[in-house]
Structure 1
Amino acid sequence: MQFRRSFSRTILSLCLILGVTLSPTLVLAAGNQETAGSPPTQESIQGQSSELPDAASEVSTPQQSPQRIVSLAPNVTEILFALGIQNRLVGRTDFCDYPAGVSEIPSIGGGMDAGVEGILALKPDLVIAPRDYFTASVEKLQDLSIPVLILDTVTELSGVFESISGIAQAAGVPNRGDALVQSMKERLQILQTELETLSSPRPRVYYAVGFGDGGDWTAGGDTYIHQMITLAGGENIAADVSGWSYSLEKLLEHDPELVLLPGSWPAEDAFKVTPGYSSLTAVTEDRLYTINNDLIDRQGPRSIDGLVMLASIFHPDLSPEVRQALTSGSPQSQDTIQSPEQARD
């Protein structure tokens, strides 16, 4: 069924996307003297040491700013574009589909591992990859002394800022990274200040990553998306579980006032008619919202857009003036700063 195929692709995309932001440890490894999980020594890298922002550990960087970068994650690709160094991007994955100009960049494929031969053909001087995926390819690249920036998973928005700063520094454009992070933090502060003034309560929210025969899947309390829902002024009904697995029984027990559905696959009509869901308050009050889930799945420069999108749905009384202020500096403001009615369309 198309429903199941679309759901499977969504889960694969989510796995790739959510495993690709920086934790406090950032490792740039080349050669096989060090394992992928430990910071390399000066002797194990052909490069120079530099200090990373905040809690990041010492990292070794190429002797010159990399000019041929391969990205193995969608949010990394978006970060490189936001930093204005997309001209250095020579390879990406099939899942790297934003912004529009990315279609002109060769893809190395879309599976759970990348072809080393395809990457080598692009002659990269830096490959940026998530730690938990593409493991075999990364090890082969390290054996061939190709610099690889290995990124760890994080569950907080602060990790997005560290990702941007770390990638910018590895690319030799730290000032651009600082400017982008500062712009995002300023927009976040505007939103948080506005939410503190609103009288509307936090709505009980459920993010339906998957449902039906394949089981119920959502963002638990230890996930990045949980923090996004919370920062946007919502109450995640799945905050008391870990990971992504949920149950229909729990869903009925907590009875969300509002359900978010990923726009990457058509699900709203199916959700309404699937047995067990029709009695939910969100269904009976017609408060199902199909969203651009890339804005909350991908931990990158559009994350603040994702928060504004959610806040506009959770709190319709968010002032037009604040929405306009938040539009300034947005990577795709016309697409994401929406009213709840627009988000539904």
Structure 2
Amino acid sequence: MSSTNRRSFLARSAVLAAVPTVAALADGTLAGQASAAPATLPDYAPIPPSALGPAVNSQGYYVGRVAKNLYWVTDGTYQAAFLTTREGVVLFDAPPSIGHNLQRAIDEIAADNGVSNRVSHIVYSHHHADHLGASSLFGRHVTRIGHAENKRLLARDNDPTRPLPDVTFENRYTLRVGGERINLAWHGTNHSPDNIYIHLPDHDTLMLVDVNLPGWVPFDSFNLNEDVPASMAAPAKAMTYPWKHYIGGHMGRLGTRQDMVVHQQYVADIVDNVRKALVAVDPTPYFAKYGNNAWAAVKEYQAAQVAYAAAPVIKKYTGVLAAADVYTASTTFIILESLRLNLGLGSQVHA
């Protein structure tokens, strides 16, 4: 990833971290800031009911069983999971937006089932603060586990809310706790350099964060993926695992294998339409119009390519994937740039 794209990624992430919660906006907490909003906000297509999960409780979270003693927690936008064992609880990620509700969810399940509520391990999916920023809430006497690159990146970021992992691995690691087995694997960079596949074979579950958001199109600019080709390939690697339940790290419901198939087809449709746009959209009018203002010409030319490629995808997936009309264009631009820069599509050698 180029340094420019890296800076853009971090800047956007920082902005997201500062965005107030939907609940705060909804209950009028920030009403005094409402004047900063534009007079007219755009309308978007309704969210298909299939994209929505269970309602959160009065404290702002939902906790439910995935399979047997594996549970998931969501605030409707972020997800974490935990496994209860006879030696303590293994927590998978600690999103700050869920925060203290993670322990409340664990306490709720522990009380219902008569098991320990003590978190003994935290598995880090990857280093990003929006998925790990509540890790420090669980104190120093917790064993944290992540990829070797995860430790390097967290040491660089020096964020006290994300303590460094105590145990790291390069390619594969099997965590055994209280008679339970959790297989961790790194198959190369995708969303981030350290993003891992978390497989619980005895629970028919795979957790792979920020790759597929079940029921929804990817977040802005293809989930801000740091390696676009590898991120496009990651779902196929995920499908080689045996699993029934999928935890994607975002939004309000779990996923299925069919959700992964739909995600793969959505991305494939964008790729197909970008290939068409690279041939069909003529650059001449844009460069003729803007003369020596090359950036204006490129901006409008690429906007035309994106519009050409995204329009049929938006039409096909509206009502199928939530927010198809919100973020498909930005994802299309990122995929356009990846095909152009990584695969050389549309490049011409000067005669």
Give the alignment's TM-score, normalised by structure 2. Answer: 0.28
The structure that is strand-richer by fraction is 2
